[in-house]
Structure 1
Amino acid sequence: MKLQPLFLSLALALSLTAAPASATSGAGVAWQAAAADSDIDRYFTQAKAEKKPVLLYWGAKWCPPCNQLKATLFNRADFIEQSKAFIAVGIDGDAPGAQKLGTRFKVRGYPTLILFSPAGAELTRLPGEADAAQVMQVLQLGLSSGRPAKAVLADARAGKRLSANEWRLLGFYGWETDEQQLVPADQRAAVLAQLAKASDGVDAETATRLWLKSVGALAEGKTADAAGLPRLRAVLADPAQARAQMDVLTNEAPDLVKAFAPQAGEARNALVAEFDSALKRLNEDATLSRADRLNALQARIELARVDTPHADPYPKNLPAALLDQARDQAGRAHREISDGYERQAVVTEAAYLLGRAGLWKESDELLKAALARSHSPYYLMSQLAGNAKTQGRKAEALRWAEDAFNKSEGPATRLQWGANYVAALIELSPEDAPRIERAASQLFTEAEKDPGAFYERSERSLKKVATLLAGWNKTPTQAATVGRLKAQLDGVCGKLDGSDARAKSSCQGLMKKA
């Protein structure tokens, strides 16, 4: 979910009664926990013997979009019933070998959902940002097709005839979590545009979805073909079409507006007004989840400040009615939601959109009020740190960042939260070498005990720390600090299993720049 505030950038219970770290049965889905290659191999052997596909879920306890999946998809009766047709495997990102498994399956972001054939071939990646009912349809398409999305894509690009269901499989593929499995990132927009054109006349909804995604992917400051503007306006004006493309419209709203109306002025204002009407309907649509409705409200806020620099914390001239709606819907979310997983998804999003509206006091109050009821309060503490930093309260920002690190749980999560604490220290208190050294040293100590520290998310966290230290290393005191940390890390590298050449190479390369 593009607008969802993943941790300063983006052990989830996967059934009604239990967490993914243990297999479950009964009313919920019988998720099997995987923490090492041997677990995965065992489940694939089981799948082959039972002639069942495998659905692999990669997530984390704190992750808001992961909690949103659990609150809207994993607890659906039809999903639970459908799960009997496959082997459900849950990978908790903080399990001992989880980050190494991330390398094996080419997954980086939480959440990622991958469907495999009984023989172990990757069929498709499911779109975690779509509406739960749409994800269910794609899951069923993947289960019934049995053809890998890679093969379907190859046929589509070769001009071969595809069925409407095969086009839908491509339209609802998890392009945001593809990790270049189907298409290199720099070619994705062009490929999506090609697919949109080829699918036109076969399945209108899919063709529109692919087209919208291609324009959104091309955006980032680029201008779209003006000939497509009537098509966008038709989608916005049609409630059924807008509902079907809900996730694309809410996540890509600012990019789509800027692509078709690159200059501030009447044309842009008119398109923003049309977009706002569609988003307002989505925000009021009771058939959508509360998180999806809030996402539509957040998109309205982003469009209201479309001519305000993104980093400006205090947008001017936002409509008073829009601010009132932000306050009201955030407050109701806090008061009314009792499910802990939905709260983690919705309250964090509500706090983020309040900040984007410039309502920092309300955002702070919401997060503080929600701390005691969160199963991952350190995530909310990180948001409070970001809020304080944005408002110029440096000491408070560092206190919250330190508290978030101290309260964080799980090896990969602690390395990620610790890396962000080091980043906050170097940015906000660069003269405090002892504090920076203590924080970085603690991370290296924890990395020494974590067999997956030099893979995927954990590796990226450690690389972040090393890069930050390299940029900070400018004075004799700083150089001495970095020297001691390098010596410590050298010791960690020396204790690594010699048979794991990848981990050893990653470790040894960390502090070279510093």
Structure 2
Amino acid sequence: MKHLFALAAPATALAAALLFAPALPAHAAPGPGVSWQAAAADADIDRAFARAAAEKKPVLLYWGAKWCPPCNQLKATLFNRADFIDQSKAFVAVSIDGDAPGAQKLGTRFKVRGYPTLILFNPTGSEITRLPGEADAAQVMKVLQLGLSSGRPVKAVLADARAGKKLNANEWRLLGFYGWETDEQQLLPVAERPATLAQLARASEGADAETATRLWLKSVGTLAEGKAADAAQLPRLRALLADAAQSRAQMDVLTNEARDLVRAFTPTAGDARTQLSADFDATLKRLNADTSLSRADRLSALQGRIELARLDTARDEPHPKALPAALLAEAREQTARANREITDGYERQAVITQAAHLLGRAGLWKDSDDLLKSALARSHSPYYLMSQLGGNAKKQGQKAEALRWYEEAFNKSEGPATRLQWGANYLGALVELAPEDTARIEKAAALLFAEAAKDPGAFYERSERSLKKVASLLADWNKSPAQAAAVGRLKSQLDGVCGQLDGSDAKARAACQGLLTRKG
């Protein structure tokens, strides 16, 4: 995975100054009990690594956002665990809130894009591993402890594995439980991932059965980019599904990739697909009832069952053919219970948004809307729920209602990176649903460029991608004289934004000026 930078040993006056400088007030601490050091600029990171080198401690970096459901799931299930809090004494904990000043610049430095990303570094600044945020908290803790005890960069471990060198069981587990979804091509180009994971799965056989199974599943699931699986391995999958202990150990892969795994092993409808779907459904039903799992993980198992039930329906079809009545009843009952019982704000943000999505996938749009509306007042980031309401309305063909929710979500959004992202989504909805409303589209884009002018990190990472989306939308929309005139005014505004950027920030200036020349 990525190797971000190497920090020199802190035997200098500068390092000492960084080490003993007062800590920044937390911008949005991920949770109590851990001495998180908030970072919003390079100096904050340098201070953290200087402290790590002086104390000979690793660094755990958390990159997330207030509104992000998986981030809130980590706060509700991992960061508040007694063993995590105790383990945190062995490392320097650094949190980067994506809306903090300079956070998106730090995203470029660390090659992080997706929220959440968890990276473990050794005391000299070399990256050890990226933790699998999608795994359950107990598994993440095991990987964290492996990384802390090993201290060996996973990049070196992977190189040895690919070269055929012998690895111990713990090194195989670092590869198996690596955060492949947040790799950002630091270890492997995306195109090489399925074949490499399959190679690793074969090589790990006999060293660690759980790891070999995990690597194999990932090599034929979502990360395989839709490639067909080896049909001769189907009995292996069916045996895994039938084994309660093994399927529990691979819970996150099986729940998140049920649809992809069934399609990979049985590409066409027929008896084989029907039987495999039934095997999968029984496993997911068992996981859904497993109270040792978090509520979010149990709902993921329920959603996996829904995805299987709509397997022969197009993935983006908003109105699937009738699903089993008992499954719909379970979806309604479990989501309603979650809404009644959850009191923790972090868990609510993670679970209620997930539950509303699940209901939509089941075609229960009214239930989804009602759940989101009932949760607005209790959400610390209601604009996320408003965006979901906009998406629900759009999928049901309710254009005016969709635009109303997208606009309100943008208006209520908070934080520079979040406002650019939500604004770009609102603009996208306008261009798609009301392309004739030139005045409204120009006003929305002008607001976004005004937001960018106030944010020094607007031309980095997620914020830059939001602005690139805006530029592409405008280029594609620019078809009539009135639209061309609006785009011309917006380009003049953006030209002014580019001209006001710090002259020493060549990266931001180039990114800003590049938006002006994007072609439709």
Deviation at 1:376, TM superposition (A): 0.2
- Asked whether the 8 Å contact 2:119–2:130 carries over to 1, the reply is yes
Match of 2:134 in 1: 129
One-letter code of the match for 1:449?
A: K
Deviations 1:411-447 (A, max 9, x none): 0000000000000101111011111011100000010
Ranges in structure 2 where 5+ consecutive residues have no aligned partner: 1-24
CA 1:465/1:22 → structure 2, altered by over 3 Å: closer, same or farther?
A: closer
CA 1:221/1:156 → structure 2, altered by over 3 Å: closer, same or farther?
A: closer
2:338 equivalent to 1:339: no
Q: Residue 309 of structure 2: which of 288, 304, 309 is its match? A: 304
Report the Cα distance in structure 2 between the residues aligned to 1:23 and 1:213, rounded to whole angstroms.
32
* Aligned partner of residue 510 in structure 1, secondary structure: helix
Match of 2:11 in 1: none
2:414 equivalent to 1:447: no
Match of 1:161 in 2: 166
Q: Percent same amino acid at aligned positions? A: 79
Match of 1:4 in 2: none
Q: Residue 216 of structure 2: which of 205, 211, 215 is its match? A: 211
Deviation at 1:266, TM superposition (A): 1.1
2:489 equivalent to 1:466: no
Deviation at 1:370, TM superposition (A): 0.3
- Asked whether the 8 Å contact 1:22–1:32 carries over to 2, the reply is no
Deviation at 1:23, TM superposition (A): 6.7
Report the Cα distance in structure 2 between the residues aligned to 1:386 and 1:66, rounded to whole angstroms.
21
Deviations 1:274-303 (A, max 9, x none): 000000000000000000000000010000
Q: Residue 273 of structure 2: which of 243, 268, 272 is its match? A: 268
Match of 2:3 in 1: none
2:265 equivalent to 1:285: no
Report the Cα distance in structure 2 between the residues aligned to 1:116 and 1:334, rounded to whole angstroms.
38
Deviations 1:167-211 (A, max 9, x none): 001100000001111111110111111100000011000000000
Match of 1:497 in 2: 502
Report the Cα distance in structure 1 between the residues aligned to 2:192 and 2:99, rounded to whole angstroms.
32
Deviations 1:346-373 (A, max 9, x none): 0000000100000000000000000000
Q: Residue 27 of structure 2: which of 21, 29, 34 is its match? A: 21
1:248-397 equivalence runs, <5 A: 248-397=253-402
- Asked whether the 8 Å contact 1:279–1:299 carries over to 2, the reply is yes
Deviations 1:472-509 (A, max 9, x none): 00000000000000000000001111111111000001
One-letter code of the match for 1:297?
A: L
CA 1:261/1:22 → structure 2, altered by over 3 Å: closer, same or farther?
A: closer
Deviation at 1:265, TM superposition (A): 1.3
- Asked whether the 8 Å contact 1:323–1:357 carries over to 2, the reply is yes
Scaled by the length of structure 2, what TM-score is found?
0.94
- Asked whether the 8 Å contact 1:188–1:217 carries over to 2, the reply is no
Deviation at 1:222, TM superposition (A): 2.4
- Asked whether the 8 Å contact 1:219–1:259 carries over to 2, the reply is no
Report the Cα distance in structure 2 between the residues aligned to 1:385 and 1:24, rounded to whole angstroms.
28
- Asked whether the 8 Å contact 2:194–2:224 carries over to 1, the reply is no
* Aligned partner of residue 383 in structure 1, secondary structure: helix
* Aligned partner of residue 516 in structure 2, secondary structure: coil
Match of 1:146 in 2: 151
- Asked whether the 8 Å contact 2:28–2:66 carries over to 1, the reply is no
Match of 1:37 in 2: 42
1:394-405 equivalence runs, <5 A: 394-405=399-410
One-letter code of the match for 2:301?
A: A
Report the Cα distance in structure 1 between the residues aligned to 2:102 and 2:146, rounded to whole angstroms.
31
Report the Cα distance in structure 1 between the residues aligned to 2:487 and 2:269, rounded to whole angstroms.
48
Report the Cα distance in structure 1 between the residues aligned to 2:408 and 2:28, rounded to whole angstroms.
29
One-letter code of the match for 1:28?
A: G
- Asked whether the 8 Å contact 1:401–1:420 carries over to 2, the reply is yes
1:426-441 equivalence runs, <5 A: 426-441=431-446
Match of 1:11 in 2: none
Deviations 1:360-416 (A, max 9, x none): 000000000000000000000000000011111100100000000000000000000
2:252 equivalent to 1:242: no
Report the Cα distance in structure 2 between the residues aligned to 1:22 and 1:316, rounded to whole angstroms.
43
Report the Cα distance in structure 1 between the residues aligned to 2:504 and 2:447, rounded to whole angstroms.
26
- Asked whether the 8 Å contact 1:219–1:255 carries over to 2, the reply is no
Match of 2:53 in 1: 48
Deviations 1:277-330 (A, max 9, x none): 000000000000000000000010000000001121111131100000000000
CA RMSD of aligned residues (A): 1.3
Report the Cα distance in structure 2 between the residues aligned to 1:221 and 1:150, rounded to whole angstroms.
26
One-letter code of the match for 1:176?
A: E
Report the Cα distance in structure 2 between the residues aligned to 1:22 and 1:457, rounded to whole angstroms.
18
Report the Cα distance in structure 2 between the residues aligned to 1:317 and 1:348, rounded to whole angstroms.
23
* Aligned partner of residue 221 in structure 2, secondary structure: helix
Deviation at 1:24, TM superposition (A): 9.4
Ranges in structure 1 where 5+ consecutive residues have no aligned partner: 1-18
Moved over 4 A (4+): 22-25
- Asked whether the 8 Å contact 1:405–1:414 carries over to 2, the reply is yes
Match of 2:462 in 1: 457
Q: Residue 199 of structure 1: which of 204, 214, 220 is its match? A: 204
